[in-house]
Amino acid sequence: MSPKTLYDKIWDAHVAHEAEDGTCLLYIDRHLVHEVTSPQAFEGLRMAGRKVHAPEKTIAVPDHNVPTTLDRANAATMTEESRIQVEALDRNAKEFGVHYYPVSDIRQGIVHIVGPENGWTLPGMTVVCGDSHTATHGAFGALAHGIGTSEVEHVLATQTLIQKKSKNMKVEVTGKLRPGVTPKDVTLAIIGETGTGGGTGYVIEYCGEVFRDMSMEGRMTVCNMAIEGGARAGLVAPDETTFAYVNGRTHAPKGAQWEAALNWWKTLYTDEGAHFDKVVTIRGEDIEPVVTWGTSPEDVLPITGVVPAPEDFEGGKVEAARRSLEYMGLTPGQKLTDIEIDTVFIGSCTNGRIEDMRAVADVVKGKKIKDGIRAMIVPGSGLVRAQAEEEGLAEIFQSAGFEWRLAGCSMCLAMNPDQLSEGERCAATSNRNFEGRQGYKGRTHLVSPAMAAAAALTGKLTDVRELN
């Protein structure tokens, strides 16, 4: 038998039908659903008189629209349109009988944090959701990717997806990370190297010592942004770190089933000599804490750098850079550490987990954020929030001057009331710095949680290694 990649193995285990031209029906083990990309899909089912094929494999939670302020139980905190979407999900979840975490449930949170946290996401699974950041679940060695609403309807109706296999890409980060360098810096540095289209047509496997050394939270941060590099999905082979994270979670297998699962999970790695269509190798030691300067996640520079000029680029990127600089209100040659910020946003499916909360607390403990800075921390789920409170982190945040919010997507995409105003500049731990992403004409610099915390203290983009 020819050697296989991890992706090949998971793919092969899920092909329910293959047509002569290679078009496959890929069986889906977990379907995650949120309120923005599902109403039209449920409506489609209703109109065709169809049922959800496997409601026990379907998990729904509202996250994009929900307010994160403490008074959100009051319906008036939501706009009418948001309320209609959340109510539609309430209704659809009940009518079609899928698992559901309503806003009032402590387990509610960002769908990509809720899945792993409750043991829904397991190694070797196929996981989809009408959300591009589904790539997050690849951290478990699960094949996970975003789909459109038509595909959401297709999965609801058939538990399969019409797919052709992607190519295999290996991203290897060797050696060790230097102090102050985090998984967020690693994933941004990779996109800086490959570009936002560099992964198009591929499923990435992240290999190398840096990922082996990384926690599950860190691996989720890395895989989360695989989509920002254009890849269909990102994967990390499951190992003892994965098994330890999964073990004991509510929906993880128990007893004899755990043993059986573990036996299979331990076969999920890329065989010696398996073929990758594309390989990118980066030395872990070469990665520095990074920030984005522009309006594409590929616009990445070490914090020690300066704002580039359009002429530093080639082809269509020259015009794109010119447009980005104007939008961001930056001047070529300006030191990144001289850029003053108005706002700090810590949270999102990229960096809203407990480890991210701890990283922020480490930086801000016993300190105060700079006067005039608006700074909010939005935990990724009610459970993350509860744990952060139990560990005393919430107290640290509040004494430092941060707002400590309830769980949701919040200012990552600003569909709820958490938005930037025109020209407002934000250091954000989220995943996209697109024009208008965090609010009309808002300006986003993507950073790690530690770097966001440092920026909150100084009021400028800051090299966290220089603090103290």
Partner 1 sequence: MEKFTKLQGIAAPMPLVNIDTDMIIPKVFLKSIQRTGFGKNLFDEMRFNRDGTEIEDFVLNKPQYRDAEILIAGDNFGCGSSREHAPWAIADFGIKCIVSTSFADIFFNNSFKNGILPIVLPQEQVDVLMADAEKGANARMTVDLEAQEITTSDGEVIAFDVDPFKKHCLLNGLDDISLTMEKSASIESFEAAAAQQRPWV
Cβ-contact 193, 458 below 8 angstroms: no
Q: Closer CB to partner 1, residue 3 or residue 148?
A: 148
- Please report how close the Cβ of residue 10 comes to partner 1 at its closest, in angstroms: 11
298: helix, strand or coil: coil
Residue 77 makes contact with partner 1 by CB under 8 A = no
Separation of alpha carbons 303 and 288, rounded Å: 8
- Tell me how far, at minimum, the Cβ of 68 lies from partner 1, in Å: 16
Using rule CB under 8 A, residue 423 touches partner 1: no
| Only segment of 122-130, 208-216, 284-292, 398-406 that touches partner 1 (CB under 8 A) | 122-130
Q: Does 69 bind partner 1 (CB under 8 A)?
A: no
421 contacts partner 1 (rule: CB under 8 A): no
Q: Is 146 in the site for partner 1 (CB under 8 A)?
A: yes
Residue 196 interacting with partner 1 (CB under 8 A) = yes
Q: Kindly tell me which of 142 and 455 has the beta carbon lying closer to partner 1.
A: 142
Q: Which stretch binds partner 1 (CB under 8 A): 149-157, 185-193, 272-280, 366-374?
A: 149-157
Q: Whose structure tokens read 């076969």?
A: 267
Token readout for 23 is: 């078009």
Report DSSP state, residue 196. Answer: T
Q: Is 329 buried (19+), middle (13-18) or exposed (0-12) by CB count in 10 A? A: exposed
267 binds partner 1 (CB under 8 A): no
- Choose, by CB under 8 A, the member of 62, 67, 130, 308 that binds partner 1: 130
**x-or-dash string of contact with partner 1, 332-371, rule CB under 8 A:** ----------------------------------------
- Answer for which of 253, 302, 305, 310 binds partner 1 (CB under 8 A) is 253
213 binds partner 1 (CB under 8 A): no
Q: What is the radius of gyration, based on Cα positions, of the chain? A: 21
Residues 169 and 7: their CA atoms lie apart, in Å, by: 10
230 binds partner 1, rule: CB under 8 A: yes
CB 236 within 8 A of CB 219: yes
Contacts of 429 (CB under 8 A, 6+ apart): 184, 345, 346, 347, 348, 350, 351, 352, 356, 446, 447, 448, 449, 452
- Tokens standing for 172? 């290897």
Query: What are 435's two structure tokens?
Result: 């024009």
CB 19 to partner 1: min, Å: 7
CB of 164 to partner 1, least distance (A): 7
- How far is it, in rounded angstroms, from Cα 268 to Cα 7? 9
Q: Which one of residues 58, 68, 85, 410 is an interface residue with partner 1 (CB under 8 A)?
A: 85
131 binds partner 1, rule: CB under 8 A? yes
- Per DSSP (E only), the strands in 185-268 are 202-207, 233-235
Please give the Cα distance from 463 to 448 (Å, whole number).
11
Q: Is 211 in the site for partner 1 (CB under 8 A)?
A: no
CB of 261 to partner 1, least distance (A): 5
Eight-class DSSP state of 370: P
Q: In sequence order, which residues have a C-beta less than 8 Å from that of residue 405 and are 6 or more positions away? A: 68, 69, 70, 347, 376, 377, 378, 379, 418
Alpha-carbon span 43 to 70, nearest angstrom: 32
**CA end-to-end span of the chain, whole Å?**
57
- The count of residues in the chain is 468
- Quick note: the x/- pattern for partner 1 over 425-454, rule CB under 8 A, is -------x-xxxx--x--------------
Residue 16 engages partner 1 in binding (rule: CB under 8 A): yes
| Interface size with partner 1, residues (CB under 8 A) | 76
Q: Which is nearer to partner 1, 310 or 401 (CB)?
A: 310
Q: What angle do CA 360, 364, 369 make, to 5 degrees?
A: 115
Residue with tokens 């043993």: 259
- The footprint of partner 1 on residues 34-53 (CB under 8 A) is 36-37, 39-40, 43, 48, 50
**Residue 232 found at the interface with partner 1 (CB under 8 A):** yes
Out of 55, 201, 302, 401, the only residue in the binding site for partner 1 (CB under 8 A) is 201
Residue type at 127? V
Within 377-396, the residues that bind partner 1 by CB under 8 A are none
Q: Which of residues 290-319 bind partner 1 (CB under 8 A)?
A: 296, 298, 315-317, 319
Minimum CB distance to partner 1 smaller for 128 or for 361: 128
